[in-house]
Amino acid sequence: MNIEYYAHPTAVIDDGATIEKGTKIWHFCHIMSGAYIGENCSLGQNVFVATGVRLGNNVKVQNNVSLYTGVICEDDVFLGPSMVFTNIINPRSAIVRKDQYQATILRKGATVGANATIVCGVELGEYSFVGAGAVVTKNVPPYALVVGTPARQIGWMSEYGHRLFFNDNNIAECPESHQLYQLKDNKVIRIK
């Protein structure tokens, strides 16, 4: 068998997990059967990936993150250290609710900061940015910057991760990439 990814010797990869080329899996990770991990991903130390989780290409998962059944990350998602996902809205130890897992979808380029919590059943829009320690309980629009508990929107972010400030014509420029963005009807789009 030609394995085109790297897994540290302490990682546990169950039969039936799919891991694409260029991915790196570090110390003490556990990848369950039925999980899918795309190309060029990086899973830091002590990451757990449950059955049915899907990670797109170039997803970065930092140390101590557990991805439970129902989590779907598109390409270029960043998950900060010790951030948390849930998959049941009303868990009880004595009641089995495995048939009630809720999907949590992170669209292309979304970032979740360290120690943030994403409550199941929400969608994080493309290039949205969740600040460290935030608790997300509802959908986050594309390019939105949310912080706090519960998370609330305080601004907009560029695809390069910089805060956007809009002029009188509702146009903003990313200071790093110089990409232009337009704010219209409380939505941000990148001007091509």
> Mind listing the pLDDT tens digit for each residue in 111-140?
999 999 999 999 999 999 999 999 999 999
Give all domains of the chain, ordered by start, each with its CATH number.
6-158 (2.160.10.10)
pLDDT at res. 2: 55
- What is the pLDDT confidence band of residue 62, given thresholds at 50, 70 and 90? very high
Q: DSSP letters of 11-56?
A: -EE-TT-EE-TT-EE-TT-EE-TT-EE-TT-EE-TT-EE-TT-EE-
**Residue with the larger pLDDT of the pair 90 and 1:** 90
What does pTM read for this prediction?
Answer: 0.96
Distances (CA, A) of 86 to 163, 169, 183: 28, 40, 32
If you average pLDDT over residues 6-14, what whole number do you get? 98
Q: What distance in Å separates the CA atoms of residue 59 and residue 127, rounded to the nearest whole number?
A: 13
pLDDT in tens, 83-104: 999 999 999 999 999 999 999 9
If you average pLDDT over residues 78-82, what whole number do you get? 98
- What is the pLDDT confidence band of residue 1, given thresholds at 50, 70 and 90? very low
Q: What distance in Å separates the CA atoms of residue 19 and residue 124, rounded to the nearest whole number?
A: 24
